[in-house]
Amino acid sequence: MREQLELLWQLQAVEEQIRAIVRRRESIKADEVRQLWHEIQLLSQNIIADKEKLECQRRVCAALESDLTKLTRQLRLLEERLYKNSSGSVRELEQLRIKHESLQREIHDREEEVFRFLESCEQLADRIANQETALQDKKQRHGIGQRKIAEAIAALEGEERVLREQQKSLRCRIDPGLLATYQALNAKLAMPVAKVSQGVCSGCRRSIPTCQTRTRPGEIQFCDNCGRILFLK
Q: Render pLDDT for 142-174 as a digit per residue (tens, 0 to 9).
A: 999 999 999 999 999 999 999 999 999 999 999
φ, ψ of residue 220 in degrees (nearest 5): -105, 135
Alpha carbon distances (Å) from 98 to 71, 72, 79, 104: 15, 16, 12, 10
The CATH code that applies to domain 28-174 is 1.10.287.1490
Would you kindly state where each structural domain of the chain is located, as residue ranges?
Answer: 28-174, 179-232
Cα angle: 152, vertex 153, 157; to 5 degrees: 120
Alpha carbon distances (Å) from 168 to 165, 172, 173, 180: 5, 6, 9, 14
92 vs 100: CA distance, rounded Å? 12
**What pLDDT, on the 0 to 100 scale, is given for residue 218?**
63
Cβ-Cβ contacts under 8 Å for 99 (sequence gap 6 or more): 78
pLDDT in tens, 42-74: 999 999 999 999 999 999 999 999 999 999 999
**What pLDDT, on the 0 to 100 scale, is given for residue 96?**
81
Q: Which residue blocks in the chain are alpha helix, DSSP H?
A: 2-27, 31-84, 90-173, 176-186
Note if the pTM is more than 0.75. Answer: no
Provide the percentage of residues in the chain whose pLDDT is more than 70: 95
In this structure, of 168-177, 187-196, 207-216, the range with the lowest mean pLDDT score is 207-216
* pLDDT over threshold 90, residue 89: no
